[in-house]
Amino acid sequence: MAKEMVLVSGGAGYIGSHTTVALIEAGYDVVVIDNLSNSDLGAVEGVRKITGVDVPFEQVDCCDKEALRAIFKKYPFNSVIHFAAYKAVGESVEQPLKYYSNNLGSFLNILELMQEEGRSNVLFSSSATVYGEPDELPVTEASPRKPATSPYGNTKQMCEDILRDTVAAGAGVKGIALRYFNPMGAHPSALIGELPRGVPNNLVPFITQTAAGVRECLSIFGNDYNTPDGTCIRDYIDVVDLAAAHVAAIGRLVEGCNKKDYEVFNVGTGRGVSVMELVEAFERVNGLKLNYRIVGRRSGDVESVWAETSLANNELGWKAVRTLDETLAAAWAWEKHVRGIE
Ligand code: NAD
Ligand code: UDP
């Protein structure tokens, strides 16, 4: 029997490359497309090395509908995982049109072509950012979405709604939005991982770059929050576990196990970890002292958020299994690989 084929948009990126590995390991055929605006071919090479499969890669911009149509004509996939988007919150505030144009335009093209070319299943990369500052913790999928505090966050809410409405219109498309909490870490092979361009916005790459001497000092944004140690709390999910959630969600659609044609799942560990706890764990696990200082709060930061994961655990049959220590060791191994540190 022919294998199921999945199109992975943004598959040269951080989460897309790990998901491509997981899909191939689960027996899927994968086609990767990416415009390489925030990645390079090294990730595709890494995926090929890890899996031993010469996964097809096409450099395509999802905003170019005719180029994207050619991919739909060329490959007989019935499922799409749509990662392709810009993701820098601060930049989205400065350049909102860049974000609305790319993040909405690319997804609209994917959905239109799925209808026009008769393809069924789509996963969308959403984010815990849709919950804003939650009223109750942990957040469930039924917790209210809060008004977005950035154009980036708004594109996630809008794309969720576009998917919901497209599915509801009976377009022959079934969809799942996965709301990621805080992805971190790298593949245990250290052949793929997170490769931010310029100064990292996210905590873990800033930590690993500081440990590698690329950044002088980590700034911890505030220790006067209403949390046990005063620093913010997040739900850090290992990128390999996150990749496995995509395989489970695609399997649910392919096998027709979905209860509704549009579903939403939180993808987190269910455990909140503070910034200080994370820094201390990184030091302990990797036997390092990190240069850090406490500075003022970063505007727009949520105090605490972590996921209720029972829906994903029960319905997708998926659970985060990697420990914080394993993840922080993998993040450091990847940074050392990138920097050529022994
Ligand atoms: P990433 O930047 O590493 O990967 C995204 C990839 O998409 C990049 O390789 C980029 O070159 C590509 N891309 C962007 N626009 C494109 C376009 N128009 N056409 C083709 N390719 C395009 O980011 P990531 O961390 O892997 O995130 C993947 C998805 O998950 C994004 O949608 C992001 O918003 C979402 N997400 C990420 C996080 C996180 O913390 N990393 C959290 C929640 C949600
Ligand atoms: N953070 C920090 N220093 C940094 C980057 C992030 O103290 O250089 C904190 C940030 O204030 C937040 C947590 O780390 O409390 C996670 O931030 P990140 O940007 O990684 O994710 P998000 O804010 O999207 O949850």
DSSP code per residue over 154-167 = HHHHHHHHHHHHHH
Strand 273-274 relative to strand 233-234, pairing: antiparallel
* Residue 201 beta carbon below 6 angstroms from any ligand 2 atom: yes
| Ligand 1: centre distance to CA 204 (Å) | 17
Best of 87, 181, 235 for a ligand 1 pocket test (most atoms within 8 Å of beta carbon): 87
Beta bridge partners of 248: none
Which of 307, 308, 315 lies closest to 248 in space, CA to CA? 315
Q: pLDDT at position 2, please?
A: 65
pLDDT of 123 > 70? The answer is yes
| Ligand 2: centre distance to CA 157 (Å) | 21
* Residue 206 beta carbon below 6 angstroms from any ligand 2 atom: yes
Best of 7, 9, 15, 47 for a ligand 1 pocket test (most atoms within 8 Å of beta carbon): 15
Number of separate helices (H) and strands (E) present in the chain? 12, 13
Give per-residue pLDDT as tens, 254-289.
Answer: 999 999 999 999 999 999 999 999 999 999 999 999
Average pLDDT of 171-178? Answer: 95
Give per-residue pLDDT as tens, 142-153.
Answer: 999 999 999 999
Place of tokens 């999928």: 141
Is the CA virtual torsion 340, 91, 15, 325 positive or negative?
Answer: positive
User: Could you say which of 152, 225, 236, 262 is catalytic?
Assistant: 152
Percent of the chain with pLDDT over 70: 99
- In this structure, what token pair is assigned to residue 187? 């593949």
In sequence order, the 6+-apart residues with CB closer than 8 A to the CB of 303 are: 133, 225, 226, 227, 232, 233
pLDDT of 171 > 90? The answer is no
Is 152 part of the annotated catalytic residue set?
Answer: yes
Give per-residue pLDDT as tens, 179-237.
Answer: 999 999 999 999 999 999 999 999 999 999 999 999 999 999 999 999 999 999 999 99
* Residue 125 beta carbon below 6 angstroms from any ligand 1 atom: yes
What DSSP state is assigned to residue 325? H
- In this structure, what token pair is assigned to residue 27? 């027996």
Q: pLDDT at position 3, please?
A: 81
Q: Is 267 left (phi over 0), alpha (psi -120 to 50) or beta?
A: beta
What's the CA gap between 180 and 267, in Å, rounded? 5
* Residue 277 beta carbon below 6 angstroms from any ligand 2 atom: no
pLDDT band at 1 (very low <50, low <70, confident <90, very high): low
| Ligand 2: centre distance to CA 282 (Å) | 15
